[in-house]
Structures are given as structure tokens and as C-alpha cells.
Structure 1
Amino acid sequence: MPLDVADLRSFYASPLGHVARRFIGTAMLRFWPDCARQRVLGLGYATPYLSVLGMDAERVIAFMPAAQGVVNWPHQGLSASALVEPTLLPLPTASIDRVVLVHALEETESPDDLIEEVGRVLSPGGRMILVVPNRRGLWARMDGTPFGQGRPFSRSQLEALMRSAEFSPEGWREALYVPPLRQRLLMRSAAAWERMGAGLSLPFAGVHVIDATKQVYRRVPLRATRRSFAFRPILLPQPTPAPRIGRDPDSPPPG
């Protein structure tokens, strides 16, 4: 069942949602400390993070999947959010500089089409931050949070997906080592869990956070072509000349 925008909003308003926003947002800011003069697009439910990343951006818009629903964002001023079909974005080609995908890839039926559509709207050399539940993490195994919904991914699956869509991963981090439980003790010790998990490179982080760049060029597939070879001999046999029929100079003339 697709995520509902009301459930997402409730999660990020909870203490556990604040923890998720804090650690995922910290990883994003390490990749993109400055988005000045950039056109930024959030796809999925990225508004909790766009408020931090897009402070100095030229333009920030939030697209939310039709199956999920949409909320007005930002809360003040003109609305910059819209309801869309994620694989058919209403944007011109190469019109966006940076894209943030949160609660998007794991919910779509066609991850390949989604990443290819993101590549279409990104300008050459544009960048994408992808936040995806970790297949080996605790958050993907417990359905009490949005990260426990949809399809989680392993690192190798994400690498193959980005490579097929002509994206090059530039940075890779894991976040949410704290168990997705709402006990106060865990909430208070969340920072310690995060430091320990990152320091020991533990495999059970809740999400992957990837910074990827759209390749400027596209590989041209080699196509097998048929070649027909006509062998022509260089030396051709020549016929032997026939003997001349004529009068022998030593024979007497005819009488």
C-alpha cells in the first residue's frame, strides 16, 4: 500500500521523525553545504529536508507522487508543491540543477524509469541525493515508520541502478543506526548510536544516502555489423599462347 502524505507528516512531527530528519539532513549537508543559485527539486516527500538544503537556492519546488497525496509547502508565502506522476515530470529537459529523492524510489513500481526521468530533467553535470531504506537495516524490517514501507535496496542494487541510468556516485553515507523504537532512552542516546555505527562501519544502518552526478556524456552501445568479404585472387592464371602457323624461312618457296 502506498505511503499516505498524512502519515508522513505525522511521522516527521514525532520525536522519532525529528531524529530521522536530523541525521539524514546532516548527511545531506555534508554533500551539499551550499545550494546558492541552484534550481532544486524535491521528489517524493522531501520537504523536511528542502527547508535546510534550499535556503539560498534560486528556486525550490516539491513534487509529490499522485498515489501519496500532496500538502501545501512552504507554510508561508506562495505554494511550491504539486501533485505529479513521478515518471512523467512536468518539467523541460535539463531544467533542474539538483534533485532530492526521499520516500520515492522504494515506493515506485519502476525504479529504472524513475531514475531515468530524474536524469532527463537534470542539467548536464547535475547532482542527485538519493535516500533509500537499507535492505540490511532494522528500519526496513519494522513497519512502524515510512522507511519500513515499500522496497528496500542493497548497495549493489543501487550501484547497478545508477550505472544503468548514467549516474556516477560521488559520495555514499549511511544514517539511522539507532533502532526505530520510540523509547525515550533510545531517543536520548540516538547521537551515541550514530557515532558508534558510523565509526565501526556497521552494516545495519537504516538508510543509504547517496550523492550522485549525472554524467555529461552517454555511452554509445556498439552494434554488431555484418561484413561480407569478397576474396579476389591477386595473381590470375594466364592462358598459354597458341603456336604460330606460318612458312618456315628455311623451307623452299612453293613452286
Structure 2
Amino acid sequence: MHPDVVDLRSFYAGPLGVVARRLLGRSIRARWGNVAGQIVLGVGYATPYLDVFTGEAERILAFMPAAQGVVNWPTDGLSASALAELSMLPLRDSSVDRVLVVHALETGESPGELLSEIWRILTPGGRLIAVAPNRRGMWARMDTTPFGQGQPFSRGQLTQVLREALFSPVHWSEALYVPPFPSRTFLRSATAWERLGVTLSLPFAGVHVIEATKTLYRPVVVRQTRRVSARMSPALAATPRVLTRGAD
């Protein structure tokens, strides 16, 4: 079930949402350092992380599911956000260079269908960044944040659903090591938590951040054939005849 867009907007306007936006945004920007001349699409509720590409990308779009609702984005100028059926995106094949998915995989009915649709609209060599709650992290256990909604993923589960949709993961990272409590102590030390978690590769990060490329070939499944040896039997079997001599 998708969280309501009003709740999402309220979260990112609050202190904990500001911290999440800053820490997670750094991880996303580290992977996409330059998107000049490219078309970038945000799917789900990705607008808090799209602002960094404004003025750099050729065009930025934001599609949000109808069950969630939509907000006007950006706040100034022409709107680039719209409601969309995420399993049938209103874009041509191979028309987008980069897709950022946030608050979508864990709340959608079929992550595989969404990823397959994203595969369709990505250009050859196009890239996807998927952000999904870590099932081992504390953020997935707290329903007071959007990352506590829906179904969290393990690294193996996320890898499997990406590969089934013909994506090849090329980089893994994690973010949001700070506990999801609106305490000033935790919020002030959020950067220190993040550095410690990344340095020690701690297992309780709040989200997975995975970058994947579009695979242009469909893998061939080799099936084993079973040979059955059967004895050949003649279609007609000879029946011995008994000759009798009639009586005189």
C-alpha cells in the first residue's frame, strides 16, 4: 500500500526527513555526478532527491502512483510531476537516460512489473538507482517514517528482482545508519553515524541504494533433456501354426 502524499511531504518537511534527504541525497549524487544533457525520471516519491539535478539535466520528470497522490514539483516554474500508472508509464521505448526509484518498490503490488516497465523506457546503456528499505535496518521497523511502509528487502531479494527484470547491478551502497528518532542528539550526530556505518560496513543501514544497468540481451535457459531408452518390439508377432492331417 502506498503512503499518502501528504504524509510523505510532511515527513520530508520535518527534522528527520531533512536529515534523510541530505544523507541519502549524497549517496545518490555520488553515483550520478554528472547528468548533463540527459533525461532523468523520478518514480514513486523521488522529488526530494531530484532537485540536485535541476539546471544540469536536459529534462527532469516525476511520476507518482495514483494510490499515493501527486504534489506540484518543482515549486516554481512549470510543473514536471504527474500521476501515472507505474506498470504502464506514458513514455516511449528507450526515451529516458536515468531513472531514480524511491518509495515505490516496497509499496507497489508487483516490483517486477514496475522494473520491467522501467527497462522498457530506458535507453540502451541507461541506468537505474533503486532505493529500498533494508529489512535488517531499524528504519524498516518504524512505521513513523515512509521507509517503514510496505515490504523491505534483503540484498539478495533486491538482486533477484532486478535480474529477473533484466537489470545488471553494478554498484551497491547503503545509507541512513542514524536511528530514526527525531531526537536532537541523534540528528546532530547523523553525519558521524553515517561515516561510522560506511567505514565499518555495519549491517543495520536503513536503506539499500543499488545502481543497475539495462541488460540488452535475454539470458538463454538451458534445459536438460532426458533420454528414455525403449525396447523396440515388432509390430506383428508370428504365431506358430499347427498342421493337422485329416482322418481317412
Please give the TM-score of this superposition, normalised by the length of structure 2.
Answer: 0.88
Q: 1:16 corresponds to which letter in structure 2? A: L
Q: Deviations over 1:127-158 (max 9, x none)?
A: 00100000000000011100000110000001
Give the corresponding residue for 1:13.
Answer: 13
Q: Distance in 2 between matches of 1:43 and 1:190?
A: 26
**Residues 54-108 of structure 1: per-residue CA shift (max 9 Å, x gap):** 4311110000000000011111111111101111111111111110000000010
Q: Calculate percent identity across the aligned residue pairs.
A: 64
Q: Does 1:107 align with 2:107?
A: yes
Kindly report the root-mean-square deviation, in angstroms, between the aligned alpha carbons of the 2 structures: 1.5
Aligned to 1:115, the other structure's residue is in SS state: helix
2:98 is aligned with 1:134: no
Query: 1 CA distance for matches of 2:2 and 2:146?
Result: 10
Alignment partner, residue 248 of structure 1:
none
The one-letter amino acid of 1:153's match is F
Q: What letter is aligned with 2:129?
A: I
Gaps in structure 1 of 5+ consecutive residues? 228-255
Q: What SS does structure 2 have at the residue aligned with 1:210?
A: strand
Unpaired runs of 5+ residues, structure 2, are 228-248
Q: Is the 8 A contact 1:132 1:208 kept in 2?
A: yes
Aligned partner of residue 106 in structure 1, secondary structure? coil
Q: Which residue of 1 aligns with 2:175?
A: 175
By how many angstroms is 1:215 displaced? 1.4
1:160 aligns with 2:124: no
Write the distance in 2 (CA, Å) between the matches of 1:221 and 1:157: 21
State the partner residue of 1:214.
214
Supply the AA of the counterpart residue of 1:94.
Answer: S
Whole-Å Cα distance in 1 between the matches of residues 135 and 33 of structure 2?
A: 28
Match of 2:97 in 1: 97
What's the counterpart of residue 24 of structure 1?
Answer: 24
Q: CA deviation at 1:220?
A: 3.7
The number of aligned residues is: 227
* Structure 1 length-normalised TM: 0.86
In 2, Cα distance between equivalents of 1:72 and 1:7 = 15
* 1:32–1:53 contact (8 Å) kept in structure 2: no
Which contiguous aligned blocks of 4+ residues in structure 1 show a shift greater than 3 angstroms? Answer: 220-227
1:57 partnered with 2:57: yes
Q: Distance in 2 between matches of 1:53 and 1:130?
A: 17
Amino acid at match of 1:113: E
- Hey, what does 1:69 align to over in structure 2? 69
| Alpha-carbon distance in structure 2 between the residues aligned to 1:119 and 1:197 | 32
Partner of 2:237: none
Q: How much has 1:226 moved relative to structure 2?
A: 10
Q: Which of 53-62 and 135-144 deviates more?
A: 53-62
- Larger radius of gyration between Structure 1 and Structure 2: 1
Distance 1:221 1:99 in 2: 28
Distance 2:187 2:114 in 1: 34
Counterpart amino acid of 2:70?
A: V
